[in-house]
A = this chain, B = another copy of it.
């Protein structure tokens, strides 16, 4: 396994964490959160995730790869990182693999960093 790969157990439920505005994270939660953020910390992966999520259902890898100026194997690697972080899942059907996002995982990581924004000064 290359050191860039991330192995995390996807959460099965909805939002489940305490936002950082409410309490300091314990080391275990920080390690899990940092692993998911590492998966998001690449422009190609972030664009792939946005394409998959905004597709509204599932999308064929054959529709993702042509959007990038990198090779198919590189796209496959990035998709694997997103999948291992629990952010997307996939299924092979015949020649192609179809991807969809995991809203619960996105909600979990968004909740972690959600913080009340003060009202603007009037």
Contact = CB atoms under 8 A, between A and B. Distances in A.
Contacts of A23: 50, 54
A14, A23, A45, A106 pick with most chain B CB within 10 angstroms: A106
Contact of A34 (B43, B51, B115): B43
Contact of A50 (B25, B31, B53, B106): B25
Interface size class of A (residues with CB under 8 A): 35 or more
A8 interface: no
Closest 3 CB pairs of A and B: A20-B50, A38-B41, A37-B41
Interface of A: 14-15, 20-25, 27, 30-31, 33-35, 37-38, 40-47, 49-51, 53-54, 101, 103-104, 106-107, 109-111, 113-118, 120
